[in-house]
Structure 1
Amino acid sequence: MNGAFSLLIPVYRGDDPAHFAKAFSSSVGEQTVKPAQVVLVQDGPVGDVLAAAIDHAVESSPVPVTRHRIEDNVGLARALDVGLTLCEHEIVARMDADDISLPERFARQLPVVEGGVDLVGTGMFEFLDDGGAIVARRVPRTGHDEISRYARFHDPFSHPTVMYRRSAVQRAGGYQPLGLMEDYWLFARMIDAGASVENIPDPLVMYRVGAGAYARRGGQAQWRSELELQRALRRIRFTSRWEYVRNVSVRGVYRFVPEGVRKIAYRRLIAKG
């Protein structure tokens, strides 16, 4: 390994220009170990203000930026799959357009991947849009065996925190559209294909929690995505029949309980702090 890696960031019309600017700067210029390349995928048309923010980020970036425009909005999974083909390096870090990377993020993750791990995530701080107050800390499972066990019930990685080997992603079939859960579906397939996985428990990303964050985790659309995911996991035998029944029952109830109950359950099951 030569220490070089690509940073993959998708952007679409719903992203806030100011949030994007901070996400970009925190993941590029403010990192103690910087990416060698940024791949910025523009998924469909964006407004003038966001376009101007993207232009400024590209022009002022301290590292080369490969900017790719997709004419029509094709969704996150397809945009990321396109972006992966443009990454020049085997190691790829992911970032969303509205979160913040802490300065030591890549310095902490890169040695783990260079040491032989195919996929590594980190912990996160959740913070509010208004004022930036930290409201929770997500502490992920660690250790390959524990992560693999936990993955049978819940996504063991926070997508905006991950760094992975591009070949391991492609070996598992790449990003594939699956409702609202393309990241979980990818990570499960990577584990199933034999990828070595790990998490750094320390929070190295700030995850933005806006109004309605918990409401969006419930409802019919989420339930349809949940059911599609559970059927897909069972189809590849990643989960047993019992695990499928348990997941559909428990996670299904979670999608329809009142928002306040969902928030409490989320905090107890996923986030600590």
Structure 2
Amino acid sequence: MTAAPLVSVLLPVYNAGPYLAAALGSILRQDHSRLEIIAIDDGSTDNSLEILERCQKADSRISIVSRENRGLVATLNEGLALARGELVARMDADDVAYPWRLSRQVALFERRPELGFCGAGVDMLIRGRIARGKPDPVFQFGRIPVLAMFFTIFMHPTVVYNRKVIDDSVLHYDPIYRHAEDFDLFRRLAGRYPAAMMPENLVVYRVHEASVTSRHVKEMRRTHLRIVAENLER
């Protein structure tokens, strides 16, 4: 019997104290148990590292890197370099994964081993209430390589990369596109590898004022438009 694939869960952490335990707990309770969590504390000034160390004592599947602040892109690339799994899942420190998230995504890659990466839908957690998300059929049935030129095709914390398909030299985030590093990576990958949008919500995306999206929305829009312009010039 073939062993279940190892999934490396890449978890960047920066001042995520109020939400971190819930995010970690949701991964540790996955029904796909063959996983490792690579938690990189990017110079947090709150109690994030303390929470990570406490959780690590209870579950050895957590690996911790703690260092000075280098930003999200550097943190993501460091995590990719450390990941041992053939599948690498993204997770944000303020979100919550449903218990079946990883098993459903692993099953997709087992059914379709040619896939380079996949994403899924999300529910939104807004002021303590969950709003059910509706996956856009355009991203399920449309031509992903074309869509990826104009849109961020997947919610970043739902993505899983298949390293059996994607070359390691391609699987990296470009610091030039800070605040839209996911859009840039997805467009590059979609031009070379098959991708799929799962028709179900696997992550609860927390909406709050301290999130990266909320704090850098203008920069994200500017970089997004820059990438679209580059795509149109090609």
Please state which band the TM-score falls in when normalised by the shorter chain.
Answer: 0.7 to 0.9
Tell me how far apart the structure 2 counterparts of residues 12 and 218 of structure 1 sit (CA, whole Å). 18
Which residue matches 2:194?
Answer: 196
Q: 1:9 to 1:64 in 2, by over 3 A?
A: same
Which residue matches 1:27?
Answer: 27
**RMSD across aligned C-alpha pairs, in angstroms?**
2.3
Note the C-alpha offset of 1:34: 2.2
Which residue matches 1:5?
Answer: 7
Tell me if the contact between 2:49 and 2:66 (Cα under 8 Å) persists in the aligned partners: no
Listed as ranges, the matches of 1:1-273 within 5 Å are 2=3, 3-13=5-15, 15=16, 17-28=17-28, 30-47=29-46, 49-61=47-59, 63-71=60-68, 73-114=69-110, 115-116=112-113, 117-128=115-126, 130-131=127-128, 133-140=129-136, 141-143=139-141, 146-166=143-163, 168=166, 170-177=168-175, 178-192=177-191, 194-211=192-209, 218-219=217-218, 221-234=219-232, 237=234
The size of the alignment, in residue pairs, is: 225
Unaligned 5+ residue runs, structure 2? none
Greater Cα radius of gyration, structure 1 or 2: 1
Amino acid at match of 1:50: S
Q: 1:233 to 1:56 in 2, by over 3 A?
A: farther
Note the C-alpha offset of 1:211: 4.0
Structure with the bigger RCO (C-alpha within 8 Å, sep 6+) is 2
Note the C-alpha offset of 1:69: 2.0
Secondary structure at 2:49's aligned position in 1? helix
Relative to the length of structure 1, the TM-score reads 0.74
Q: Could you tell me the percent identity over the aligned residues?
A: 28
Tell me if the contact between 2:156 and 2:182 (Cα under 8 Å) persists in the aligned partners: yes
Tell me how far apart the structure 2 counterparts of residues 100 and 126 of structure 1 sit (CA, whole Å). 10
Note the C-alpha offset of 1:37: 1.4
